[in-house]
Amino acid sequence: MSVLVVFDLDGVLIDSRAANYEAFACGVEALGLPAPAEEAVVSLIGLSAAEMLQKLGCPADRVGEIYEGYVKPHYLENLPRLARAVEGASEVLTQLRQRGHRLVACTSGDRALQEKALRHIGLREFFEDMQTPDDSRYHKPQAEYLRELVQRVGHQGPIVHVEDSLVGLQMGLECGATTVFADYGFGKPEPLEPHFRIQKLSQLLEVEHVL
């Protein structure tokens, strides 16, 4: 039976650590604040850009200005030299497709940035569809955010959801997916319990009785 495999992107398939840090540091410095520590930025990846900026000290009424004027353009300009595919990503996605599974992405990042990142690292061709905040009035951890994607692609079989953030894991569990938590990514699953945990992406191919 064909499985719909839903991937988060940042931290799961895209190593965007350097790109995110530089972009958000640029935005914070534009506020006249000192550059944040890299770990302070990396620990927030998986939240929306607005939430990240506010947690880094940006006033709510300036989030749009700072994101559009500094963070987004810096990320777009520097992504080609900074983004990397997670080790083994192309090989894993190729094998999943060869096994007859369908691949989609569900991310908190906006569409333009994620499309550019996936194309740069050579992974966009693997995905038949993608859910981003530009496509929905919902967001992680709301189960409706993932359900919209599943309904859009017309899938009625089993779902495997690969995540590295608590909000994403909550969404997958509430949606009834078999959840796989990427421990190599940016987040922690606690206090929730995913069905499986992997230390590297290639272990996804070994998830028992699922893929």
DSSP code string of 5-55: EEE--BTTTEE-HHHHHHHHHHHHHHTTPPPPPHHHHHTTBTB-HHHHHHH
Say if CB 101 and CB 2 are below 8 A apart.
Answer: yes
CA angle at 134 for the pair 144 and 117, rounded to the nearest 5°: 110
Look at residue 105 and give its three-state secondary structure.
strand
- For residue 178, list its beta bridge partners: 160
Structure confidence at residue 181 (pLDDT): 98
Say if CB 96 and CB 103 are below 8 A apart.
Answer: yes
Say if CB 26 and CB 70 are below 8 A apart.
Answer: yes
Closest listed residue to residue 37, CA positions, set 10, 56, 63, 12? 56
Integer-rounded Cα Rg, in Å, for the chain is: 17
Structure confidence at residue 193 (pLDDT): 98
Q: Determine which helix (DSSP H) or strand (DSSP E) holds 151, and give its type and residue range.
A: helix 143-152
Structure confidence at residue 55 (pLDDT): 97
Q: What is the distance in angstroms between the CA of the first residue and the CA of the last residue of the chain?
A: 10
> Within a 10 A sphere around the Cβ of 155, how many other Cβ atoms?
18
Structure confidence at residue 211 (pLDDT): 76
Average pLDDT, 10 consecutive residues per value, the chain (211 residues): 93 92 97 96 86 97 97 89 94 97 94 90 97 96 98 97 96 98 93 98 89 76
